[in-house]
Structure 1
Amino acid sequence: MAMVINTNMASMNAVRMLDRTSGEQSTSMERLTSGLRINSAADDAAGLAVATGMTTQIRGTEQAIRNANDSIGMLQTLDGATDEVVNMLQRMRELTVQSMTGTYNNDNRAQMQSEVNQLQREVVRISDTTKFNGMNIMNASSFSGGVLSAGQISAGTIASVINASTSNAFRAHVGWEEGHDNRIGIPLLDFGTLHTLDSATVRLMSGNPTSVTFASAVGFASAALSAIDADLASLSTMRANWGAIQNRLDYTVSNLQNVNENINASKSRIMDADFAKESANLARTQVLQQAGMSMLSQANQQSQQVLSLLQ
């Protein structure tokens, strides 16, 4: 090999290898500092694109989980209020049965009617004031669609609300994408339409107590009893469906959590730095850098040897 001064190939090679080592060292330090394998698109363009899509799905599923849990909270609020309405209807039915026996006079029935009136007013008050996040869930004032009246309740009408895609019904969005398949319709009931609230139907006394015969009083009570039983049956049907939807939403949350967990794991395999690997690589590059600096110094000293030929 010729001995030259102008072009120090050994030094140039040492500089090139040092640059490569310094780049690898910087990359390892960046990954160890951030905890990420991909810190810019240049690190892994395809991997970053995949991870970005996964981030979209992860954040979407997290919000969908909150949506489903909020809907469960709404149903629990609605069911709790409905339970109190059922208790009042049971009390009204109890009073109705009590009034049908001959041991009570019409004045007693008028007193029973007074309690029935108060219970009817309380059912109306509860239906008008029970809200979830400011929205009324016991009448049609907040949701114009999917709110059934007491006379509309059937398996078919409830199913049509649950599966509705265009009606202005209450719908829980439980997916990370748009589309009908990601929504669950929840049927509501307009409690103001309960037959029990009709004073002409549910009454134990009417007019002057002295002019009402026992047979008439029994007739009033019988009609009231039929209306109350119909409302109790309607409320039982609605509560059964609300409970079924709550259970469905529980499974929905579980599935979303499972999807979210696995997508996070997949994203981690793409984005997160392997600290054991990067620590080992950092130690390797540090040793190589020290060795490279030493070799560069040796390469620069080689040109000095040419001077000995000139002496």
Structure 2
Amino acid sequence: MAMVINTNMGAMNAQRTLNTSALEQSTSMARLTSGLRINGAADDAAGLAVVTGMNTQSIGTQQSIRNANDAVGMIQTMDGAAEEVVNMLQRMRELSLQSMNGTYNNDNRDQMQSEFKQLQSEVVRVADTTKFNGMNVMNASSFSAGALSVGQISAGTIASVGNASAGNNFKAHVGWEGGHTNRIGVAMLDFGTLTSLTSADVRLMSGNPASVTFASAVGFASAAVSAIDSDLAAISTMRANWGAIQNRLDYTVSNLANVDENINASRSRIEDADFAKESANLARTQVLQQAGMSMLSQANQNSQSVLSLLR
């Protein structure tokens, strides 16, 4: 090999090797600092595209879980209020049966009517004021197409109104994508339409108690019992539907959580840094850096031997 001084091939080779090991060292340090294998598109372009899609799905899935849980909370609010309405209707029915008994006079029935009327007013108040996030959930003011009247309650009507592709009804969005297939519709009940709430038609007494015959009083109470039974049947049907939807939403949340877990596991395998591997690579590049610096210094010293030829 010729001895030259203008071109130090040993130094150039050492510099090239040092640049390579410095780049590897920088990459390892970035991965160990961030905990990510992919810190930029250049690290793994295809992997970054896949991870971006997975992150999109994961974020959407987590929001869908919150959506479903919020829907469960809304249904529980409606069901809790319906439970209190049922309790009041049961008391109204009890008063109706009590007033049929011949041991009570019309003044007693008039006193029963006073409580009966107060309960009717309270059911109306509950129906008008029960809200979830500012929206009425017991009348038709917030979800006009989805709030059924008592006379409309049937399995077929509930299924139709609860259709996820229906109009202005309540729908829980429980998917990370758009479209009606990612929604669950919920039929609601307009409690203002209960047949037992109209005091002029459903009552235990009317007018002057002294002028009401026993047969008329029994007739009032019998009509009230029939109206209350009709309302209780409608509410029971609707509450059964709400319970079924709540159970469905619980399974939906469980499935979404399982999907999100597996998506994140897959994303981790692509994006997250392997600390054992990167730590070992960092140690290797640090040794190479030290050795490379030593060899660069040695290569620079080699050209000094040419001076011995000039003495």
Same fold (TM over 0.5): yes
Give CA-to-partner distance per residue, 1:132-169, whole Å, 9 cap, x none. 00000000111111110010000001101221414100
- What letter matches 1:125 in structure 2? R
Q: C-alpha distance in 1, partners of 2:291/2:171?
A: 67
- TM-score, normalised by the number of residues in structure 1: 0.98
1:275-290 equivalences under 5 Å are: 275-290=275-290
The residue number in structure 1 matching 2:92 is: 92
1:117-266 equivalences under 5 Å are: 117-266=117-266
Indicate yes or no: 2:16 matched with 1:16.
yes
Q: C-alpha distance in 1, partners of 2:282/2:161?
A: 61
- What letter matches 2:8 in structure 1? N
Indicate yes or no: 2:102 matched with 1:102.
yes
Q: What is the CA distance between 1:218 and its match in structure 2?
A: 1.1
**Partner secondary structure for residue 4 of structure 1:** coil
Mapped contact 1:201–1:227 kept (Cα < 8 A) = no
- What letter matches 2:112 in structure 1? M
The residue number in structure 2 matching 1:50 is: 50
**Partner secondary structure for residue 185 of structure 1:** strand
Identity %: 80
Residue correspondences, number: 311
Q: What is the CA distance between 1:200 and its match in structure 2?
A: 3.3
Mapped contact 1:8–1:299 kept (Cα < 8 A) = yes
Indicate yes or no: 2:3 matched with 1:7.
no
- TM-score, normalised by the number of residues in structure 2: 0.98
- What letter matches 1:137 in structure 2? V
In 2 relative to 1, CA 166–158 (structure 1 residues): closer, same or farther, beyond 3 Å? closer
- What letter matches 1:74 in structure 2? M
Q: What is the CA distance between 1:226 and its match in structure 2?
A: 0.6
Q: C-alpha distance in 1, partners of 2:224/2:263?
A: 58
Q: C-alpha distance in 2, partners of 1:227/1:45?
A: 69
Structure 1: tracts of 5 or more residues without a match: none
- What letter matches 2:111 in structure 1? Q
Backbone CA RMSD of aligned residues: 0.9
Indicate yes or no: 2:308 matched with 1:308.
yes
Q: C-alpha distance in 2, partners of 1:54/1:89?
A: 52
Mapped contact 2:164–2:183 kept (Cα < 8 A) = no
Mapped contact 2:131–2:137 kept (Cα < 8 A) = yes
Give CA-to-partner distance per residue, 1:204-235, whole Å, 9 cap, x none. 11222122111111111111111000000111
Moved beyond 6 Å, runs of 4+: none
Q: Which moved more, 1:163-172 or 1:24-33?
A: 163-172
Q: C-alpha distance in 2, partners of 1:289/1:206?
A: 102
Mapped contact 2:149–2:191 kept (Cα < 8 A) = yes
Indicate yes or no: 2:23 matched with 1:30.
no
Structure 2: tracts of 5 or more residues without a match: none
Q: C-alpha distance in 2, partners of 1:166/1:309?
A: 97
Q: Which moved more, 1:160-169 or 1:180-189?
A: 160-169
